[in-house]
């Protein structure tokens, strides 16, 4: 890692370069694939092995990726009157040297902070990142090659679910109400536009959120805070057509040259998206610290979250969790201290359970 930084008037400009390499000398792990054969009479041949990718062979599995990463980052900060501002632009590229597949990221961010009044401040933040991962062509053997019926070619191009544009922005107002109370309000959004998942033409997942926080502080003896956050999420990440399968006997046709309908044909009659991701979330966070004297410190916390998704056609998803915690620290003298603490977690979910039912 190396960098340069320069002050120009009231502004500061910097540049940083990073190079990272990882190589593993761990021995490879191999998986042994049995020879394909009839489960009852033990016969083998192309009828069975033509349906498999690996048959009667040992293949390397779980190999560590030998990687190389380069990154560049330019930063800029400055002040103007009662305001401060800054921005950064970065680029990075990581390569798996085992297969020459790469991923690249371009990111940028900016912030602006200013005083609206003597005890009131505004902070605005914005960031955007674009991540691209190399496509990979998967060349598979023909399904049932040399057998009755038309052989099926299942070659495909793997597009990464990491390909996306991630956009974030927020505005926060912080105000000192009096000597003991400080309040803050935050509003913002996050938009994740995935290029290929869950479908190539899927809408972006957009989260709008608002947060309110009040902090109380009375000298060094007592401090407390309460924070509430609400999130509204549209188009959460889903498993496209992952829930149900239509009755297929009157829809699907046997493969040419055979009387059979195969399992891979049933992908065409699956329907209904499914997800456990919420469309609304409520989050509550309480903290409190009390110091009755210079030797005793009592900390209390409580976190709770409730989220739900009622936008699915045939089911509702919801989750509830809470976690109270309590800790006591006692300084007996200059050498000894005693700490006691505990927390309790409670989680309850109402989620979908799908049982595979073939032919409806």
Q: 76 pLDDT exceeds 70?
A: yes
- For 332, other C-beta atoms within 10 Å of its C-beta total 9
Domain assignment present for 136: no
Q: How far apart are CA 137 and CA 163, in angstroms?
A: 16
Give pLDDT tens digits for 23-43: 999 999 999 999 888 888 888
Q: 270 pLDDT exceeds 50?
A: yes
Domain count, the chain: 1
Domain assignment present for 187: no
Domain assignment present for 319: yes
Domain assignment present for 320: yes
Q: Who contacts 35 (Cβ-Cβ below 8 Å, separation ≥6)?
A: 44, 49, 55, 56
Closest-CA residue to 294 (of 227, 209, 357, 220): 220
Q: Who contacts 173 (Cβ-Cβ below 8 Å, separation ≥6)?
A: 116, 120, 121, 122, 184, 185
Burial of 162 (0-12, 13-18, 19+ CB in 10 A): middle
Domain assignment present for 351: yes
Across 289-293, average pLDDT: 94
Domain assignment present for 56: no
Domain assignment present for 357: yes
- Least confident stretch, 139-153, 173-187, 335-349: 139-153
DSSP state of 49: H
Q: 173 pLDDT exceeds 80?
A: yes
Domain assignment present for 288: yes
Query: Which residues span the domain enclosing 239?
Result: 215-360
pLDDT of residue 360: 41
Two structure tokens written together for 327: 């800790």
Closest-CA residue to 54 (of 136, 140, 137, 138): 140
* pLDDT band per the 50, 70, 90 thresholds, residue 274: confident
pTM comes to: 0.82
pLDDT of residue 45: 77
């Amino acid at each position: 890692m190396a960098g340069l930084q320069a002050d120009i008037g009231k502004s500061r400009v910097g540049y940083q370069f990073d190079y990272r390499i990882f190589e593993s000398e761990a021995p490879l792990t191999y998986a042994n694939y049995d020879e394909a054969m009839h489960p009852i009479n033990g016969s083998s041949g192309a009828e069975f092995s033509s349906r498999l990718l690996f048959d009667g062979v040992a293949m390397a599995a779980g190999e560590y990726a030998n990687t190389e990463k380069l990154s560049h980052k330019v930063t800029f900060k400055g002040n103007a009157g009662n305001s401060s501002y800054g921005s950064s632009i970065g680029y990075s590229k990581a390569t798996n040297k085992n297969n020459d597949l790469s991923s690249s990221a371009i990111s940028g961010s900016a912030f602006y902070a200013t005083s609206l009044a003597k005890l009131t401040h505004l902070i605005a933040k914005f960031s955007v990142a674009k991540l691209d991962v190399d496509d990979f062509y998967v060349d598979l053997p023909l399904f049932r090659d040399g057998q009755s019926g038309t052989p099926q070619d299942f070659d495909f191009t793997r597009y990464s679910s990491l390909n996306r544009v991630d956009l974030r922005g927020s505005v926060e107002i912080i105000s000192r109400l009096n000597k003991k109370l400080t309040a803050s309000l935050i509003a913002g959004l996050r938009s994740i536009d995935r290029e290929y998942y869950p479908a190539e033409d899927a809408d972006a997942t957009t989260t709008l959120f608002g947060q309110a926080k009040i902090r109380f502080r009375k000298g060094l003896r007592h401090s407390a805070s309460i924070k509430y956050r609400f999130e509204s999420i549209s188009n959460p990440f889903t498993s496209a057509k992952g829930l149900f399968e239509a009755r297929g006997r009157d829809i699907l046709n046997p493969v040419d040259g055979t009387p059979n309908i195969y399992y891979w044909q049933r992908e065409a009659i699956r329907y209904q998206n499914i997800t456990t991701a919420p469309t609304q979330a409520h989050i509550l966070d309480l903290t409190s610290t009390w110091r009755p004297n210079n030797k005793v410190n009592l900390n209390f916390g409580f976190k709770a979250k409730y989220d739900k998704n009622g936008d699915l056609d045939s089911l509702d998803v919801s989750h509830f969790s809470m976690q109270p915690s309590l800790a006591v620290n006692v300084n007996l003298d200059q050498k000894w201290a005693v700490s006691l603490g505990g927390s309790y977690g409670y989680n309850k979910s109402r989620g979908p359970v799908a049982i595979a039912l073939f032919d409806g």
